[in-house]
């Protein structure tokens, strides 16, 4: 049974495709097609991010409408894509644009506080992506069932911690403060989250490869690219948070 912690690529994503109903030829999902569509989504995200960056870098107050609008739009179209994979060719680019608006605004805010932090975060994100892709293709990291189970459980635990902290903040509490501060515990927590987010990339690679092997339909290239983008956005944000904590010290 396939397993991934990415909510866009769960156990049932490719489960219905097999030998008896595999797609072939131009109708089938390919690795090259998924790579091209991932590159396209990243380009859309970067262009949208560059726009909000230019609009908000010198205007901190003006960043929040873009930040909130992009966050809400990304959540809506992300959920639509996750629950309706056939819509991915249309909704995934919109999701990428919304996330770009959000990331451009929040990156501008961080850059105003810590000069140079965005370049570092982007470099570390894509460096991590390249390193794990090499490790995966070379067989250095093998996504065994125990590996997938461990990463899935760890990701679920992180999500639960964040949700508890969010709910506590809604009711006037300071939340789980230690995960947000720049002390040793806060930095250690961020390091763990970055590692777990990075290892989710391995699970995403495995799921995309499995989809290709099972003859998934062409639209799953967009869906696979969308799932990979979800993890990359998460990884970038966690690296940004970690670097900010280190700067505060």
Q: For residue 52, is pLDDT > 80?
A: yes
Is pTM beyond 0.75? Reply is: yes
**Rounded distance between C-alpha atoms, residue 3 and residue 199, angstroms:** 13
Q: For residue 134, is pLDDT > 90?
A: yes
pLDDT at 2: 40
* Residue 108 belongs to some domain of the structure: yes
* Residue 19 belongs to some domain of the structure: no
**Rounded distance between C-alpha atoms, residue 96 and residue 101, angstroms:** 9
| Lowest pLDDT segment from 101-110, 138-147, 198-207 | 138-147
* Residue 3 belongs to some domain of the structure: no
Mean pLDDT value of segment 22-36: 83
Q: What are phi and psi of 23, to 5 degrees?
A: -85, 155
* Residue 242 belongs to some domain of the structure: yes
pLDDT at 122: 97
Q: For residue 215, is pLDDT > 90?
A: no
H helix runs in 84-144, sequence order = 88-113, 117-137
pLDDT at 58: 77
Secondary structure letter of residue 27 according to DSSP: G
Dihedral sign from CA coordinates of 200, 69, 244, 181: negative
Q: For residue 40, is pLDDT > 50?
A: yes
* Residue 6 belongs to some domain of the structure: no
* Residue 161 belongs to some domain of the structure: yes
CB atoms within 10 A of CB 160: 10
Q: For residue 7, is pLDDT > 90?
A: no
Mean pLDDT value of segment 93-98: 98
**What residues contact residue 124 under an 8 Å CB cut-off, 6+ apart?**
239, 243
* Residue 5 belongs to some domain of the structure: no
Mean pLDDT value of segment 198-207: 95
pLDDT at 61: 80
| Lowest pLDDT segment from 178-192, 194-208, 229-243 | 178-192
pLDDT at 19: 45
Q: For residue 169, is pLDDT > 90?
A: no
Within 13 A of 7's CA, how many CA atoms are on the CB side?
13
- The residue segments making up the domain with residue 31 are 25-248
Residue 6 tokens read as 């990415």
Domain count, the chain: 1
Instruction: Report the share of the chain in percent with pLDDT over 90.
Output: 69
* Residue 10 belongs to some domain of the structure: no
């Amino acid at each position: 049974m396939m397993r991934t912690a990415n909510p866009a690529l769960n156990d049932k994503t490719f489960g219905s495709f097999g030998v008896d109903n595999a797609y072939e030829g131009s109708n089938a999902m390919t690795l090259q097609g998924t790579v091209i569509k991932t590159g396209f989504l990243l380009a859309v995200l970067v262009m949208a991010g560059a726009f909000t960056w230019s609009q908000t870098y010198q205007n901190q107050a003006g960043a929040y409408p873009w930040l909130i609008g992009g966050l809400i739009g990304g959540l809506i179209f992300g959920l639509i894509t996750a629950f309706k994979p056939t819509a991915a060719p249309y909704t995934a680019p919109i999701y990428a644009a919304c996330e770009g608006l959000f990331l451009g605004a929040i990156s501008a805010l961080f850059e105003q506080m810590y000069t140079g932090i965005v370049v570092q975060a982007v470099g570390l994100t894509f460096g991590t992506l390249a390193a794990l892709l090499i490790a995966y293709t070379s067989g250095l990291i093998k996504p065994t069932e125990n590996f997938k189970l461990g990463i899935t459980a760890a990701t679920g635990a992180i999500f639960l911690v964040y949700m508890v902290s969010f709910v506590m903040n809604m009711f006037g509490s300071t939340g789980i403060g230690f995960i947000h501060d720049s002390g040793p515990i806060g930095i250690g927590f961020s390091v763990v989250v970055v590692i777990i987010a990075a290892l989710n990339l391995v699970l995403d690679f495995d799921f995309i490869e499995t989809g290709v092997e099972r003859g998934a339909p062409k639209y799953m290239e967009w869906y696979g690219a969308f799932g990979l983008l979800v993890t990359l956005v998460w990884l970038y944000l966690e690296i940004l948070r970690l670097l900010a904590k280190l700067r505060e010290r």
